[in-house]
């Protein structure tokens, strides 16, 4: 499936925004202006942008935890200011400041992020079941990393999705690392997507640094699902430039990754690759690119202003107790 220029511009723009927001989060963490922790998404933003940029509002999305889902959510049209407000404990946060670094945007069908890696597999079956039952062409974009496929729940979801031919895209963002463990140690085959074969599910392996290749695969899988043809496994081979989460050492196994190694990874930065291509193919000129960066900087500023000017959420215990159950 070939992308048109409009689609490429959308993808490029979201890539720029994701890059700026990732840097915003990293900086804020260094400045002590984020609660909890941050899992930087440097080098790994292309798959998320591609997976979410062409979803409808009523499609389900479970974002990968890297970058705290910001890449995926902004691409789906979610205003990240409510997320930053949440991550800074403000009353304007998407969860009223209760969830720390988690999120919920039910109206966009981004329901949650759990602390359990692989939490999304089982609910995806329910979302897929509901989509199929409604028969309105909705799809489920299930994004998660290679590490999450260690969960037995992944098997159950692949099994049931194929069994019932549910409209689910198992979108594996394989960066080759689960915290500090290399995939070669934790997974027996070269490709995580080889799992799909056992369930009789179609699968693709793509270059996760190429946002356009990722998008072509995602769009194909989405269309397949919308037509009621069942699930697809998409494996985007990506990478991780920075540490697993800020404040923990950047290790491979138990030894530090070398600077040379990380420098090599940076050569494969998805924004660098995409810029070369949009310029080469005349999708965007340099001044348009510059403008996108300016817009992204302004967006970051607005997001930060909104969060920083909001009040810290401090409801009383009584108010919280009254909010424990739905009326």
Partner 1 sequence: MAELTLVEAINRAYAEELRRDDSVFLVGQDIRGGIFPHTMGLVQEFGPERIVDTPIAESGMYGVAFGAAQEGFRPVVDFMFGGFSYVTFAEASVTTGQYYFLHGSQHPLPLVITAAVGTGMRLANDHAMSIHGTFAHHPGIKVAMPSTPYDAKGMMKAAIRDNNPVVIPWHMGLMQERGEVPEDDYIVPLGKAAVKRQGSDVTILANSVQLKHALAVAAKLEGEFDVEVIDPRSFVPFDMETLLTSLAKTSRLVIVDEDWESGGFAATVSARVMEQGFDLLDAPVIRVTLPNLPVPGGYMEEYIAPNPAKIEAAIRQVCA
Residue numbers at the binding site for partner 1 (CB under 8 A)? 93-96, 98-99, 102-104, 106, 111-112, 114, 116, 119, 121-131, 133, 152-153, 155-157, 159-160, 163, 320, 323-327
E strands, 103-209, in order: 140-145, 168-174, 177-178, 181-182, 203-207
**Cα dihedral angle (49, 286, 282, 241), rounded to 10 degrees?**
-40
- The answer to whether the CB of 60 falls within 8 A of the CB of 109 is yes
* Closest CB 85 distance from partner 1, rounded Å: 11
Helix (H, G, I), strand (E, B), or coil: what is residue 251? Answer: strand
* Closest CB 123 distance from partner 1, rounded Å: 4
Q: Which is nearer to partner 1, 256 or 321 (CB)?
A: 321
* Closest CB 275 distance from partner 1, rounded Å: 37
* Closest CB 104 distance from partner 1, rounded Å: 4
Rg (CA), the chain: 19
Beta-carbon contacts of 228 under 8 Å, excluding residues fewer than 6 positions away, are 132, 135, 165, 167
Q: Which is nearer to partner 1, 122 or 251 (CB)?
A: 122
Q: How far is CA 194 from CA 156, 233, 234, in A?
A: 16, 9, 10
* Closest CB 14 distance from partner 1, rounded Å: 25
* Closest CB 160 distance from partner 1, rounded Å: 5
Q: Which is nearer to partner 1, 158 or 213 (CB)?
A: 158
* Closest CB 113 distance from partner 1, rounded Å: 10
* Closest CB 36 distance from partner 1, rounded Å: 14
Q: Which is nearer to partner 1, 127 or 170 (CB)?
A: 127
Q: Which is nearer to partner 1, 106 or 188 (CB)?
A: 106
Q: Which is nearer to partner 1, 153 or 244 (CB)?
A: 153
Helix 211-226 vs helix 5-30: angle between axes, to the nearest 10 degrees?
Answer: 110
Q: Which is nearer to partner 1, 179 or 321 (CB)?
A: 321
Helix (H, G, I), strand (E, B), or coil: what is residue 116? Answer: coil
- The answer to whether the CB of 85 falls within 8 A of the CB of 307 is yes
Q: Residue 160 has which token pair? A: 């049931």
Instruction: List the one residue out of 86, 82, 88, 102 whose CA is nearest residue 28.
Output: 88
Angstrom distance (rounded) from CA 44 to CA 41: 5
Q: Which is nearer to partner 1, 55 or 273 (CB)?
A: 55
C-alpha 198, offset from chain centre = 26
């Amino acid at each position: 499936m070939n992308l048109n220029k409009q689609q490429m511009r959308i993808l490029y723009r979201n890539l720029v925004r994701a890059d700026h927001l990732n840097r915003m989060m990293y900086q804020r963490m260094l400045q002590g202006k984020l609660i909890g922790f941050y899992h930087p998404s440097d080098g790994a933003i292309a798959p998320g942008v591609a997976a979410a940029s062409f979803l409808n509002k009523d499609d389900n999305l479970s974002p990968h935890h890297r970058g705290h889902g910001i890449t995926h959510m902004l691409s789906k049209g979610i205003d990240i200011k409510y997320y930053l407000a949440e991550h800074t404990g403000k009353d304007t946060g998407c969860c009223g400041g209760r969830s720390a670094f988690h999120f919920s945007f039910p109206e966009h069908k981004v329901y949650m992020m759990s602390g359990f890696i692989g939490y999304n597999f089982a609910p995806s079956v329910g979302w897929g079941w509901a989509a199929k039952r409604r028969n309105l062409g909705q799809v489920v974009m299930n994004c998660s990393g290679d590490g999450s496929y260690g969960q037995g729940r992944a098997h159950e979801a692949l099994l049931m999705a194929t069994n019932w031919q549910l409209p689910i895209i198992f979108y594996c963002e394989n960066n080759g690392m689960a915290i500090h463990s290399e995939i070669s140690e934790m997974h027996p085959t070269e490709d995580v997507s080889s799992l799909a074969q056992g369930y009789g599910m179609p699968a693709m392996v793509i270059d996760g640094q190429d946002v356009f290749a990722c998008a072509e695969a995602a769009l194909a899988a989405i269309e397949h699902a919308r037509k009621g043809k069942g699930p697809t496994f998409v494996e985007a081979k990506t990478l991780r430039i920075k540490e697993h989460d800020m404040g923990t050492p950047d290790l491979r196994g138990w030894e530090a990754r070398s600077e040379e190694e990380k420098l090599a990874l940076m050569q494969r930065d998805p924004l660098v690759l995409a810029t070369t291509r949009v310029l080469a193919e005349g999708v965007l000129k340099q001044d348009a690119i510059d403008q996108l960066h300016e817009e992204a900087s302004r967006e970051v500023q607005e997001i930060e202003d909104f969060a920083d000017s909001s009040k810290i959420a401090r409801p009383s215990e009584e108010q919280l107790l009254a909010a424990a159950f739905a009326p």
